[in-house]
C-alpha cells in the first residue's frame, strides 16, 4: 500500500491499495479525521480546484500553480490552465508520479533499481482513494 500527504490550500491524503478497507487498518497514517473526497478515476477539475493555488490574469483566466517550480517569489509558477495538471505537479514535487512513471519511456533510468524505485512511487489512479484531512 502507498500513501502520500499533500499540503495544498487544504491537506489531502492519497492512498493506493488493492483493498479499500486496508486504509482503515493500516499503520503509520497520521492521526486525524478524514473525508473521502473521491476515488482516483473520479477526480475531476471541479473537485480538485479548491485545493490548488491559482491566479487570475488580466483577461479573467485562471492559471494554476506548477508545484515543481521552486522559486521564492513564484514568478513563473502559474502555468497550467487545467487544475488536474497542477494536482499532478503537486504529487511530482514530492518525488511521486500519478498514473505513469516518467522513467518508463525514457533513458533517464540508467538501471533497473532506479526504475523500480520510481515505479514504487507511482500511483495507479484505478486503485486510489483521495481523502481530505480535516
Task: Give tens-digit pLDDT for 87-127.
Answer: 999 999 999 999 877 666 555 556 677 777 778 899 999 99
> Is the pTM higher than 0.85?
no
Side-chain-facing half-sphere of 39: CA atoms under 13 Å: 9
Distance CA 45, CA 6 (A): 17
What's the grid cell of residue 83?
Answer: 487544475
Amino acid at each position: 500500500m502507498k500513501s502520500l500527504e499533500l499540503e495544498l490550500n487544504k491537506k489531502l491524503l492519497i492512498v493506493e491499495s488493492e483493498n479499500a478497507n486496508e486504509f482503515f487498518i493500516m499503520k503509520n497514517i497520521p492521526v486525524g479525521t478524514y473525508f473521502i473526497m473521491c476515488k482516483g478515476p473520479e477526480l475531476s477539475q471541479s473537485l480538485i480546484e479548491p485545493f490548488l493555488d491559482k491566479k487570475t490574469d488580466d483577461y479573467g483566466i485562471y492559471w494554476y500553480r506548477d508545484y515543481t517550480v521552486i522559486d521564492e517569489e513564484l514568478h513563473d509558477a502559474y502555468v497550467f490552465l487545467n487544475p488536474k495538471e497542477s494536482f499532478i505537479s503537486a504529487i511530482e514535487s514530492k518525488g511521486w508520479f500519478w498514473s505513469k512513471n516518467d522513467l518508463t519511456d525514457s533513458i533517464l533510468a540508467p538501471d533497473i533499481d532506479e526504475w523500480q524505485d520510481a515505479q514504487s512511487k507511482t500511483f495507479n489512479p484505478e486503485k486510489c482513494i483521495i481523502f481530505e484531512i480535516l
